[in-house]
Structures are given as C-alpha cells and as structure tokens.
Homo-oligomer: A and B are copies of this chain.
Amino acid sequence: MPYRAAVNEFSFIIEELLDAEALRETEQFGDATADLTSAILTEAGKLCDEVLAPLQRAGDLHPAKLENGVVRTSPGYKEGFAAMAEGGWIGMAASPDHGGMGLPMILTSAVNEMMSGACLSLQLAPLMSQGQIEALEHHASDAIKELYLPKLISGEWTGTMNLTEPQAGSDVGALKSQAIDNGDGTYSISGQKIYISWGDHDVAENICHLVLARIPGAPEGTKGISLFLVPKFLPNEDGSVGARNGVATVSLEHKLGIHGSPTAVLQYENAKGWMVGPEQGGMAAMFTMMNNARLGVGGQGIGVAEAAYQHAMAYALERRQGKSLHGFTIAAHADVRRMLMAMKADIFAARSIAMTCAYAIDMASATGDPVWTSRAALLTPIAKSFGTDVGIRVADMGIQVHGGMGFVEETGAAQFLRDVRVTAIYEGTNGIQAMDLVARKMMDGGEMAGRLLDEIEAKAEAARAEMPEIAEAVWQASETLRETTDWLVAQEDLTDRFAGAVPYLNAFARVLGAYFHLSAAMADRGGPREKLARFYVNRLLPDHTGLLEQVRVGQHDLYAMDLDELSA
C-alpha cells in the first residue's frame, strides 16, 4: 500500500479539537477559512502521495554524493524539490510581503508533517529554509530581506543553519568560528561547521548559511555570539548569483539514515557575511529559527510514524499466519492488534500536541497575547521530543509487526527507523528539550503548566457524565502531574529537576495525549475515536505513574556512584 497523507486527521484536529473559529476571527488569519484549509490540505496531500513518496526509497538507495567538490543529490530529488517550491509550500507561513502565503502555522505544520512522512530526507530542505525565512523576517535588515526572502520563499535558493562545531554541540557557547569586521558592513567568517543539513546540494542555485560566530574580543559562552548570513555564491545587485564565497564542502557524513539528505562539514575561510540581528545577539536570533525548527522536527517524527504505521498496517492486513477467532491475517492476533493500536493512538496524541503548539504560535502572532506565547514555548519541547520519540517507537513497532521481513531492507520497514532516529538528536537532543522544559519553561513557577492542567481537568469534569472511566483516568493523571510539577518547581537546585527531566516530559506528553484523546472521543461518541481513546487510557496513559515516580527522586541516586564505579 503506498503512502497516503493523513489529510482527514488534520481536518479533524483543526475543526474539532482546536478553536479554529477564534483563529479565523483574527485579522491576520481571517482568510484561513474552513474551505481554504481543506483545499490546502488536499492539495498538499496530493503532492505527498504522488510526487514525494515515490522518492523515499531512492534517497536511501542512492545517497547524496560529494564528487570533485560537487554534491549530487539522489535521483528525482531536484524535481521533487522543484514541485514543493512551485506549489508554494516552502513559504506557506512567510509574509506575503515577500511572496509568502501568510498562512497559519497549523497549516504549515500539517503540510510539513505530511511531507516528512512522504520523504523525510527531502522535506528537511524546505524545513531549513522555513526556519531561515522566519529568522530573517524577524531580525534581518530591510536590504537583506528584500534580497533574500523572495529567493528563499520561491525555492530558487535554500537556507541552512550552522551552529555545531566539532567541540561545540549541545554546548553551543563553546564555538570558535570567528567573524572579522571588514568595516564596510560585511564580515569575514572563518571556522568549521559540522552536521549541516542540506549544507550543499544541487537542487537550487544558491545556499544561504546562517552562521553563528564570535567577533574577536566578544565574551565567552553564548553571550558573545553573533549571527551572520553567508551565501554560497555572493549575490549581485540584481539578485543574480555572482562569485563563489569562501565556503567549501569538506565532506558528507555517512549516516544511519536519511541518506538522501546531504549532511555536510563546511569550512569557512574569510567568507563574506552580513550580520543578522544585533551584535552579540546571535543566540536570540538563532532561537527564532530553532523554535520553528523544533516544532518542525517533532512533525518529522510524527510524519515518519504515520508512514511506518500505514506500511505495517498494510502488511498486517495481508500476511496470513495462524488462525484466530477474529480472522486469518496477523492483524487478528491480539499482540499485533495491540501494536497497531498503540501506533495509531500515539500518532494521534503526538499530532494533537504538535498542532496545539502550532495553534498557540498562531494565536500569539495574531493577538500578541503573551499567554499564547508562553503556551507555545511550553509546548515546543514536548512537541519536539514526544513527536520524535513516537516516530522512533512506531517505526520500531513497524519492524516488529513485519517479523523477519522487518529486518530485511527491501521491505522498507527498517528504513523508517534508520531515518527517523536522528530526529531525537538534531535541533537539540531530546534530553536538551527536557532540560528546557523543566528549567527555562518553568521560570514562571509552573504557571503555564498549571493553566494547561486546569484546562484538562475542566474537560475531564465536563466529560464525566458521558464517559466516566476515561474522564476519571484523565483527571487523576492530570492531578498526579500537577503534584509532580509542584514538586519540580520547588527544586532550586536545577540538577534535581534535570535528573527527572526526560521522564517528566514524557509523562506530560502522556497526559496531554489523554486529554486530546478524550476530546476526540467526546466529538465522536461511540465511534472509532472513542474506542481509540479507551485503548490509549487503558494501555498508554498508565505509563505516567512510573514516569512521575522517577521525577520525584531528584539527583541523589545519579551521583551516589562515582564514575569509576559506573565504568568498572
């Protein structure tokens, strides 16, 4: 069975779970009517099913290659990228001032997820451009905006983000790249950047690198970092592509998955660049891009999960093995059914969380209300981490559903796991996301988390009469999460929070997932969504107990053993 983008699922979430009317009442998104929403999702779905999905295996089998200094991408990728660009999908969320569609993030997120499921390696290219577009919109000078935004939005050029260096990964502040002021409004950038997704390729005529570097004399750590735009080819005044800039592609990584995405090591040698945002304000500017990208990466996890689920489901419906009262294919067996339902239920939970985060971003943008901003900020690390964990878990279950066939590469089940594995690592590892959640996102003393829990419990109360077991389970889980959140924010030594950060994030996602399943059940009483909600509450929500128990342990047991004992 070929991949089919989950158009109906997005429609359901937007129209039934999110308050789409409130969004449509804003000036900014008044045009995003139900009809337009439906048309956009359908159109994007068609592109995914017909154009992008057929490229997914080709990228794996014929990885991007660096030959004689030139990167050649996988067969069909140039055409695939062109189709995304022509459809306007790169600049969906970008301002119409420079050619974007100005659509809400809920649509961008939906379309990005659908495209990730179709072909993760290729979808990474526009995702990087989108982050760069947003960063430039917020922080670049008008001259840069005028020159670069139309090119990035149209897909004539693409964007990348350059943070990591060999000694500076999660610890961005340790970077050594330097930027020397040329005194003419430009800077000379030198240094080495690694893990640059789509850092070099042949699908567009120019590549614009957003590079973090330090001006000599700037303070150490993240404070002293500035952001620079460094194009591969220097643009002429008229926007045409001019001379080659001082950035060379040293190598492409040989990776576990996403073979179709060229991951480059880039060497900058006095490359000409332009500062974006204020001097020593590079981290803040880059974070605009990062937050967007983090939600996008969460969507990548969910997209691959959807594809892996469909793939496993098709196999389970066709593979005959043993007999059961319930049928003759393996989909009839209880344990296979349990896996398939867990896949579907987790995808719905992760997707609802991501869409709720996107909705908060839209409302923040449309209303300027800081409560929406805080809500988006709280949900972003959860959406990223849980979405990617679900991607890995579902892809892994997809292999298991296939049995021996799952271990054979030709089946395609293994590729999903190999591809999606990176999503838990890049744009901030899931450990970093969890630390962000329990530290920075709890600087309000847990107020925003508390508001979300109030909302969940109000929903549970309202549903109590109609579906008492589900409502009670959701309410109880929310209360346990609330108590643990109170414990967490009371810890002044951040290490006590970090010691349980990952289980805390996972439990938070579990409870949010239960909330959205309950909401879906209420919108589909007696229907398949209520049945799936019941499954989720029975079999996935119970995880939260053990997870939250761990959170309240604090740091002590982690440091009781010293490293000699641990590595003995």
Cβ of A414 < 8 Å from any Cβ of B?
yes
Cβ of A408 < 8 Å from any Cβ of B?
yes
Instruction: Tell me the nearest residue of chain B to A530, going by C-beta.
Output: B560
Using a CB-CB cutoff of 8 Å, which residues 483-539 of chain A contact chain B?
495, 498-499, 501-503, 528, 531-532, 534-535, 538-539
Establish whether residues B545 and A561, one from each chain, have CB atoms under 8 Å apart when the complex forms.
no
Checking B334, B392, B404, B560 against A425 with a beta-carbon cut-off of 8 angstroms, the contacting residue is B404
Checking B418, B532, B563, B568 against A561 with a beta-carbon cut-off of 8 angstroms, the contacting residue is B532
Establish whether residues A317 and B563, one from each chain, have CB atoms under 8 Å apart when the complex forms.
yes
A193 to chain B, nearest CB (A): 12
Task: Find chain B residues with CB under 8 A from A528 CB.
Answer: 561, 565-566, 568
Establish whether residues B431 and A331, one from each chain, have CB atoms under 8 Å apart when the complex forms.
no
In the bound complex, how far is the Cα of B318 from the Cα of A453, in angstroms?
41
* Given A409-B256, A544-B546: A501 touches B335 (CB 8 Å cut-off): yes
Spot the interface stretch: A83-91, A100-108, A359-367, A549-557: A549-557
Establish whether residues A337 and B559, one from each chain, have CB atoms under 8 Å apart when the complex forms.
yes
A75 to chain B, nearest CB (A): 19
In the bound complex, how far is the Cα of B531 from the Cα of A561, in angstroms?
6
Instruction: Tell me the nearest residue of chain B to A430, going by C-beta.
Output: B400
A375 to chain B, nearest CB (A): 25
Q: How many copies of this chain?
A: 2
Using a CB-CB cutoff of 8 Å, which residues 270-327 of chain A contact chain B?
313-314, 317, 320-322, 324-327
A568 to chain B, nearest CB (A): 7
Using a CB-CB cutoff of 8 Å, which residues 387-406 of chain A contact chain B?
392, 396, 399-400, 403-404, 406
Instruction: Tell me the nearest residue of chain B to A565, going by C-beta.
Output: B528
In the bound complex, how far is the Cα of B255 from the Cα of A559, in angstroms?
40
Task: Find chain B residues with CB under 8 A from A560 CB.
Answer: 531, 534-535
Establish whether residues A255 and B409, one from each chain, have CB atoms under 8 Å apart when the complex forms.
yes
Cβ of A351 < 8 Å from any Cβ of B?
no
In the bound complex, how far is the Cα of B542 from the Cα of A408, in angstroms?
35
Task: Find chain B residues with CB under 8 A from A430 CB.
Answer: 400
Using a CB-CB cutoff of 8 Å, which residues 135-194 of chain A contact chain B?
164, 167-171, 174, 194
Cβ of A429 < 8 Å from any Cβ of B?
yes
Q: Mark A424-446, 1 if CB is under 8 A from B, else 0.
A: 11100111001100000000000
Instruction: Tell me the nearest residue of chain B to A551, going by C-beta.
Output: B539
Checking B256, B403, B501 against A429 with a beta-carbon cut-off of 8 angstroms, the contacting residue is B403
A321 to chain B, nearest CB (A): 4
In which size bucket is the chain A interface? 35 or more
* Given A254-B410, A410-B254, A546-B543: A558 touches B404 (CB 8 Å cut-off): no
Task: Find chain B residues with CB under 8 A from A169 CB.
Answer: 321, 403-404
Establish whether residues B403 and A495, one from each chain, have CB atoms under 8 Å apart when the complex forms.
no
Cβ of A68 < 8 Å from any Cβ of B?
no
Cβ of A236 < 8 Å from any Cβ of B?
no
Task: Find chain B residues with CB under 8 A from A502 CB.
Answer: 335, 338
Cβ of A422 < 8 Å from any Cβ of B?
yes
Checking B409, B534, B563 against A254 with a beta-carbon cut-off of 8 angstroms, the contacting residue is B409
Cβ of A333 < 8 Å from any Cβ of B?
yes
In the bound complex, how far is the Cα of B336 from the Cα of A167, in angstroms?
17
In the bound complex, how far is the Cα of B339 from the Cα of A543, in angstroms?
18
Cβ of A344 < 8 Å from any Cβ of B?
yes
Establish whether residues B409 and A337, one from each chain, have CB atoms under 8 Å apart when the complex forms.
no
Cβ of A17 < 8 Å from any Cβ of B?
no
Establish whether residues A499 and B334, one from each chain, have CB atoms under 8 Å apart when the complex forms.
yes
In the bound complex, how far is the Cα of B397 from the Cα of A502, in angstroms?
13
In the bound complex, how far is the Cα of B399 from the Cα of A331, in angstroms?
32
A134 to chain B, nearest CB (A): 23
Establish whether residues A557 and B539, one from each chain, have CB atoms under 8 Å apart when the complex forms.
yes
Task: Find chain B residues with CB under 8 A from A539 CB.
Answer: 503, 550, 553, 557
Task: Find chain B residues with CB under 8 A from A563 CB.
Answer: 317, 327, 331
Establish whether residues A399 and B421, one from each chain, have CB atoms under 8 Å apart when the complex forms.
yes
Additional A-B contact list (20), CB under 8 Å, known A171-B321, A335-B501, A400-B425: A170-B322, A194-B404, A253-B408, A255-B407, A313-B566, A326-B495, A326-B559, A331-B566, A333-B431, A335-B434, A336-B431, A338-B502, A341-B557, A341-B561, A417-B421, A528-B561, A528-B566, A528-B568, A535-B557, A546-B546
Q: List 30 A-B contacts (CB under 8 A).
A: A167-B320, A168-B321, A170-B403, A256-B399, A256-B414, A317-B563, A325-B495, A326-B495, A331-B563, A334-B499, A335-B435, A335-B498, A335-B501, A335-B502, A338-B499, A338-B558, A339-B431, A341-B558, A399-B421, A399-B425, A400-B425, A532-B561, A535-B558, A535-B560, A539-B550, A542-B547, A543-B543, A543-B546, A545-B545, A545-B546
